[in-house]
Amino acid sequence: MLGEMYSGCVHVEDVGLRGATDQRIWDYCREEDLILVSKDTDFRERSLQEGFPPKVIWLDVGNAGTEVIASLLRRSIDHIAAFDGQKQSSFLALRL
């Protein structure tokens, strides 16, 4: 859904991690140098406690569906690119 805008983005399902523990997903993102994007508050807390890598983008979107989230990520492309380029930044919250 977002591959054209965000090259290299993958969904947990694409890499065999659907249903995996948070720790396994965290480790995968760290190992693959990926930014972890989630609306799960567990990842927000882990990022604040453990730092990075991986960097975390937390989606404060409540129960919003996939289309709404995809739209938010599309609108935020410049903000996300800036976040990715900041070496000292580890956490970004995006809100509707």
The ranges assigned to domains in the chain are 12-95
Average the pLDDT over 40-63 and give the result.
Answer: 93
Report the pLDDT value the prediction gives residue 3, as an integer from 0 to 100.
Answer: 77
Average the pLDDT over 43-53 and give the result.
Answer: 91
Indicate the Cα dihedral angle 55, 60, 65, 68, nearest 10°. -90
- Single out the residue of 79, 89, 24, 17 nearest to residue 55, CA to CA: 89
DSSP state of 6: S
Report the pLDDT value the prediction gives residue 21, as an integer from 0 to 100.
Answer: 95
CA distance 67 to 83: 23
